[in-house]
């Protein structure tokens, strides 16, 4: 299980990498397609996939889990 700190760190890392991808897409019309830009974009996609796979394999920290799972719902039979 990941700690809250590690979970949030990985989540923010994904956000930073997606922001970098947005910047590449924003400036691509000005610079065109270069080998460096294409390689960087591919590298960012791979890193995002790797981090998301790690997040999917790990359980969420218990403090971030939805509170509904701790509430005992009473099932009142219908009359």
Q: How many domains does the chain have?
A: 1
Task: Establish if 35 belongs to a structural domain.
Answer: yes
Rounded Cα distance, 57 and 77, in Å = 38
Task: Establish if 28 belongs to a structural domain.
Answer: yes
Task: Establish if 70 belongs to a structural domain.
Answer: no
pLDDT tens digits for 16-57?
999 999 999 999 888 888 899 999 999 999 999 999 888 877
Q: What token pair was written down for 15?
A: 């956000």
Task: Establish if 77 belongs to a structural domain.
Answer: no
79 pLDDT band, cuts 50/70/90, is very low
Supply the mean pLDDT for the chain: 79
The pTM for the full model equals 0.69
Structural domain boundaries, residue 42: 4-58
Q: Is 16 helix (H, G, I), strand (E, B) or coil?
A: helix
Task: Establish if 31 belongs to a structural domain.
Answer: yes
Are 8 and 58 in contact by the 8 Å Cβ rule? The answer is: no
Rounded Cα distance, 51 and 10, in Å = 7
Task: Establish if 20 belongs to a structural domain.
Answer: yes
DSSP-assigned letter for residue 71? S
């Amino acid at each position: 299980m990941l700690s809250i700190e590690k979970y949030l760190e990985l989540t923010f890392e994904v956000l930073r990498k997606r922001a970098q991808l947005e910047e590449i897409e924003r400036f691509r019309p000005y610079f065109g397609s270069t080998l460096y830009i294409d390689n960087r974009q591919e590298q960012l996609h791979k890193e995002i996939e790797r981090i998301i796979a790690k997040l999917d394999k790990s359980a969420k920290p218990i403090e971030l889990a939805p509170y509904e799972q701790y509430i005992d719902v009473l099932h009142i039979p219908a009359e």
